[in-house]
Structure 1
Amino acid sequence: MPIPEIFVIYTGERKTRPSEISLSQEFFGGKECAVDVKVKIIYDGKEGDIINQYVIFTKVCNEQMKIYGRTRKAVMEAIRICKDQNVLREYLISREKEVVSIMMVLYDEEEIMRSYVESEVYEATQKAQYNEKIETAKEMIENDEPIEKIIKYSRLPKEIILELQKTRFAASVQ
């Protein structure tokens, strides 16, 4: 079965610019796999063509986003600049509201994903820190340290330390 050919417009910054990427080459070291796809990479098109204008539009959007953040102001400025530079001008004039809506949805989705990842990292960090405090308290309990000292160094509430002491005592009785 022939390998399907797919084209992708790449608008990011990249030092190396391969003309195509193969799934099996990139992820499986060139070994045969059940599904392989060759993707032809288009970087900027020919000056003035639709691909070139799209790449310019995305770069202007990224520049404005750096200045104004992921805001409506950034989108509106990008549209204004592109219309002034005759980049996608007719399209932006006829569909400005639609472009703004799409860009804001994209910004919202990226923001939601970024926020989710940040919260997951925060929760994992908090859990690790809490577990570290518990281990410190357990070690100090094993060494028969006074409860005030355990509270100070573990930074755990007295109730949790008392519960840990009960658990230790119950385990040693059995």
Structure 2
Amino acid sequence: MKKQRFMILLKKEADTRQVKRLERNDVEIVDNVKKDQEGIMKRTIKDSVFTDLFQDKKYLLQLYKALHPEDTDVTENDLNDITIKNVLTDNIYNDLGFTVGDKLMILVEAQSSVWTVNIIVRALMYLVQTWHDYFERTKQNLYKSKKVQMPIPEVYVIFTGERKTRPSEISLSQEFFGGKECAVDVKVKMIYDGKEGDIINQYVA
């Protein structure tokens, strides 16, 4: 009888310990989920801030001058927003695109989440769509004999996450085809910090 009671007590203690372990695990899981959600929310907010910030031409001009400090003559009137808008949920859209007169077409992506070289493929898709829109907007016909006019494209990624290596440039051919020459290549200039005091540095900080 005593042995039976002793076994019952042991079982109760074991059950109690198991319940406590499960409760601790549940708390840890909830905490981890909260941290992940907070991280995602912070990244989403930061990306949204980037997109909203450069809708203002005052800041867009500052961004351009941070990218091209040698161009001192450009004004707000020279800049035109050509960002691909997310009208339909299944359409592609980018963070920022703008032209500088008729000489440059600049696409800028802000990436604050886990690093992925797939950004190069997305950049290519954004570039093709932006060119398509540009030709329609300027009423240029790709099927006529006259050569179309197009601005020089530049693609940038402002990365605010953590990376062990920080290449200044990444390319489609290098990352996906082992550096072999291919029919299409895209080179993306990487920005991590900006220069002290400029708009990129302020955004990253």
TM over 0.5: no
TM-score relative to the length of structure 2: 0.28
Greater gyration radius: 1
Q: From the two aligned structures, give the one with the greater strand fraction.
A: 2
Q: From the two aligned structures, give the one with the greater helix fraction.
A: 1
